[in-house]
Structure formats: structure tokens, C-alpha cells
Structure 1
């Protein structure tokens, strides 16, 4: 029985608990915070926008003080992490991270608030993020849209659009890039580049230092979360959405951007998957500019969870410098 006296159907500790009545208790994630007219530390302004009622999709957008009235700057479209089932574009740690990225890079950032599993199982988050990206880039042309966002129309150079994410958000970004490689974006916009930080990929066959014990592998959160958030995925944990290097998966040569930066952390359980993905892109025939960063001594999502550390500050500056 759970803390609410209800019968537990599934729990993936320390992240989430699902009860037999369908209710969900999220055990991880930071509290939501309001946007700011001007963040005291970074001088970045932020506001929240709801751009779709059906389906309900919203976002938080960031504008650095350094961006002048007649200046056009790059745009970063961001997808937050949290195993597809917790965290938010409006949370404290994500807002802190986006303020820092926007300030260092001097770019407009928009973080998409997609719907979470298990109430909204995948592929809903993929669809929400694609719809969000399409709405954002529709500001590039002469589209008539009811809810036009002036910060996008006024300040963004749509020849320099980037997408990015961390953990499950990096998985979202990868799948958005694959879709952008085969489907047109509104206004004919092309994605310049992307960075995937500690990307969430997995598979049934062990890679590198991953445990080879089948029973142990079946209990890892990397495995159990996928089954919770995408229970009907063909192929299960070897579905190409989560295992893009599985034989028969769409070719990574189809990634729809011209620059890609993959970053991994030495102590992260997902490290070897990130490196495998980097090598697979390298060998796929994809003709973009590819780079890998590994940070020693750090664990998963350290740049967000321990944002005051020197290594976190260095990585944020390095990611910001990618957005040119």
C-alpha cells in the first residue's frame, strides 16, 4: 500500500508511483516557479505562453537583456528531461538552467511544456514537441496565426534555429531531428544544429560497462521507465525511439540538422549509450558537423542538478558557445 492508503500498481523509485486507481504520485522533480520580468542573477526576462488549447501545450520563453530591439539572434527550442514522466518547463531547476543558457549564449530560448506519461503515454510527448516546434517556426513566414508571440517575431533569426534537450529531453530532441529530416518544417525552416546532453537511450543488449545480468537489467529505471511511459511500443526497449542503433532502425544519416553536439558524463549510467549513439551517427553517412564532449567525475544531468559547481558552469558555457 502507498502513503495514501491506496494499492500501488507500479513504482519506480525514487521517481514515480502509480496506483491501481490510475492516480500518479511524482516523487522527483523540483517545484514550479513563476516566470520573471527580469531574473536578478542573469537579467533574462521570461514569460509563459499557451499556444495550443487542443491539445493543451504551453511553453516558457526567455529573452536576454543583451538582445537589442533591432537585433536578430539564434533561437533554441528546448525539451526538458525527467523520464517523460516528471519535471516541467516551469520548474525551478529548468528555469535556472534556461536563464543561464540564454544569458551566456545571448539567444532567445523557448522550453516546451509537453504532456507527461503515464497519464499521457508516448508518443504524445513526441507529438507535443513537434507541434511546439512547428508553431515556433511558423513565426518565420507570413503565416496567419492567432497567437503570435512578439519575442519570436521580433528577435529571432530563423536561419539559426537549434533544438536541444537533456536526458529524456535529449531523446525527444533526437526523435524530432529524425522527423525533421523527412518532414518539412513550417516556412521551410531548417534546423541549424542540436545538442543532446546525457541522452536517454537504452536497449536489451548490454553496451560497454552496463550490467550483463538479465534480471538486474530488467529492474533498472532505464528499462522500467520506458515500459511505464510507452507500454505499447513495438519492440519494447528495442524500439528505435529509445534504441536508435538497433538493426532495422531508420538510418541516422537522416538527422535533420547540420551540426550535432553529444555530451556525456563519466559516472552516468547512460554514458556508454551516448558514446555508442555518437559513433553510430559518425558511421551512418550523415554529412553534418559532429562533436562529443565527456565530463569526467560527473553524473547524470549534473549541469542542472548541481548548477553551482565549476563543471556545471563550464558545460553550460560550452553549450552556449555552440549556439552561434
Structure 2
């Protein structure tokens, strides 16, 4: 018999996360955290960590490209929300740090990669509030000097991959309802391999065992109290009673999908839903065949990742 104080697993998503009876959490797949670089020896991109809020605890890693000496040309600002199912990964992880050093060197923009609170310690909707808080901070007079001196506030973008792509959608919806400080608007939104789900399968999703599928299981884990469950509008944007997608608060959207990604069809589904909603902006779909979920994050210097990064550079600069 085990002793009474032995830790027991009270919830888990096998190989991703274990929650123990004493409240501790293990995330076996999380990549190591790394410090910012000044500058990165390979790309010459500088980075630093900035505290946005102490309560709740929100911070961000800022990335600054190599700027011309005359220094008067302002560059776009990308506020980014990392992936990881809302429950693992970090803006400070090796994975995202390597990605953004490459990304910023090719896109010539300032990135604010947001460190939001994770489930299950902070169940949803905490991360949505944190990411909105971060965006309002970026738009405010209190933003970091890198932003105030070098950022073009007429070209503010939001972006994210996987769960971060879902956050982008929800932040864009909120931006359609609530003004940002100083009259700043979100110009564009980048949804890379976004995470959405619904009570019914679509496209290539299997009708049998749909409730055991990873996207379904993750939502129940990170937002157990979600009104409407898996048909909550935050994860099913076309659920009955969901606000119209015509209210998305930005002028242009690009949805990026990958041919071998199990979430590919949800990305296309979202793209089609926005197209049919009467939303008035520019809408694009970018598909890369033969690649899997967030290939560009895992292999930022691969040929296809660079192709996507260059496509996003065009999106932000034109």
C-alpha cells in the first residue's frame, strides 16, 4: 500500500501533462527556457524580457531587428501568442526563441511574444484576458521604448500558432467591440494552424471517437467550465448564438494551414466561415502541402518555413 501522502495523478493528457493530487504539474514535452540574446550571433536580432503586469503575472519577450542607423523608419509590430494547447510551452522557450530570431531577421518587424498564464493552474478564459491586457499595453503610452521609438502603430498585427491562433481569433473579436488606447487599431491577424473544434466532426475528422480526439480532450481540460462546452464560441466560432464573424476587429486576415496537419480542415473551415460572414476585410488562405502541424516553429530555417515567413513579411509590409 502507498503512504497516504503519496502523490496521485488526478488528471492527465498522456505524454503532454500530468496533474497531481498535491497540485503540482508535470509537462514532459515543454522545451527548455532560454535567456534573451543581445544580439543573436546568427541573425543579429536583439531580444529582451519585459514585465507587462505583476498581478496577473504577464510578461513578454521583445525582438528587435537590426535597424538602419538613421533610425527614422518605423517597422510593423507583431503581438504574438504562442501555441501549446493553452497548457504548455512559453514565450521564453528555446523553440520560440529560435523561431523568432529567424522570423524577425526575415520580416523586419518588432515582435512582442506574450507570456500568458497557462491552464490548468489558470483555466481559460485567463489566457484571453492576459493577451488582451498585453495588446492594450502595447498600444499604450506605457509600452516599452523599443516599441515607442521604432514601432509603426499604424501597422499593429496579432499572430499565433495552434492554440495561439485560437487566441488571435478571440482577441480580434474583442478588438471589434472594444477600443485600444491612443486610437490604435489592429491592422491584421495571422492565424497559423489555428485550433478550433465543435461537437460535430468536419472534413477528414473521424465521426467515431470524436469526443476522444485531442482537440476535444484539450478543451475540456483547459476550460472545464466553458458555457456550451466544446460549442463555446471561443472554440467553435460558428456555434449557435456565437457573435458574427463580421465583427472581427482588423482589416486583413491570413489563415495558414499545412496539408498533413490534423487541424488543416479546421483552418479551412474557419477561413470559409469568415468569408461567408460578410466581414469587410482582405482574407487570404495559405496552404503548404506535405507539412505537419506548426512545421515552421519546429524547423524555422527549413526551406518551407522560410517560404511561409517571407509570405508573412509581405502580409505585414504591403
TM-score, normalised to structure 2, is 0.95
User: Take 2:151 and 2:124, find their aligned partners in 1: how far apart are those partners?
Assistant: 30
Aligned length: 313
The residue aligned with 2:279 is: 286
User: Take 1:80 and 1:5, find their aligned partners in 2: how far apart are those partners?
Assistant: 34
User: Take 1:53 and 1:129, find their aligned partners in 2: how far apart are those partners?
Assistant: 14
The residue aligned with 1:201 is: 196
The residue aligned with 2:91 is: 89
The residue aligned with 2:256 is: 263
Q: Is the 8 A contact 2:102 2:301 kept in 1?
A: no
Q: Secondary structure of 2:311's match?
A: helix
Q: Secondary structure of 1:307's match?
A: coil
Q: Is the 8 A contact 1:67 1:73 kept in 2?
A: no
> Which residue of the other structure, out of 69, 79, 82, is the alignment partner of 1:80?
82
User: Take 1:51 and 1:273, find their aligned partners in 2: how far apart are those partners?
Assistant: 32
Residue 20 of structure 1 deviates from its aligned partner by 2.4
1:21 aligns to 2:22 (yes or no): yes
Q: Is the 8 A contact 1:15 1:26 kept in 2?
A: yes
Residue 193 of structure 1 deviates from its aligned partner by 0.5
1:50-199 to 2 correspondence within 5 Å? 50-68=51-69, 69-139=71-141, 145=142, 148-199=143-194
User: Take 1:154 and 1:308, find their aligned partners in 2: how far apart are those partners?
Assistant: 29
Residue 269 of structure 1 deviates from its aligned partner by 1.1
The CA RMSD over aligned residues, in Å, is 1.4
User: Take 1:274 and 1:49, find their aligned partners in 2: how far apart are those partners?
Assistant: 32
Q: Tell me, which stretches of 5 or more residues in structure 1 are unaligned?
A: 140-144
User: Take 1:134 and 1:307, find their aligned partners in 2: how far apart are those partners?
Assistant: 29
The residue aligned with 1:316 is: 309
> Which residue of the other structure, out of 238, 241, 262, is the alignment partner of 2:234?
241
Q: Is the 8 A contact 1:265 1:296 kept in 2?
A: yes
User: Take 2:184 and 2:68, find their aligned partners in 1: how far apart are those partners?
Assistant: 22
User: Take 1:320 and 1:118, find their aligned partners in 2: how far apart are those partners?
Assistant: 35
1:210 aligns to 2:205 (yes or no): yes
The one-character-per-residue Cα deviations of 1:204-256 (angstroms, maximum 9, x if unpaired) are: 1010010001xx22222211111111010001111000010212211000000
User: Take 1:17 and 1:199, find their aligned partners in 2: how far apart are those partners?
Assistant: 24
Residue 40 of structure 1 deviates from its aligned partner by 1.2
Cα gap change, 1:211 to 1:7, in 2 (>3 Å)? same
The residue aligned with 2:50 is: 49
User: Take 1:250 and 1:128, find their aligned partners in 2: how far apart are those partners?
Assistant: 21
Residue 5 of structure 1 deviates from its aligned partner by 5.9
Larger displacement relative to structure 2 (237-246 or 93-102):
93-102
Q: Secondary structure of 2:257's match?
A: strand
1:7 aligns to 2:8 (yes or no): yes
User: Take 2:68 and 2:193, find their aligned partners in 1: how far apart are those partners?
Assistant: 29
User: Take 1:98 and 1:77, find their aligned partners in 2: how far apart are those partners?
Assistant: 12
The residue aligned with 1:38 is: 39
Residue 28 of structure 1 deviates from its aligned partner by 1.4
Q: Is the 8 A contact 2:48 2:62 kept in 1?
A: yes
TM-score, normalised to structure 1, is 0.94
User: Take 1:315 and 1:25, find their aligned partners in 2: how far apart are those partners?
Assistant: 33
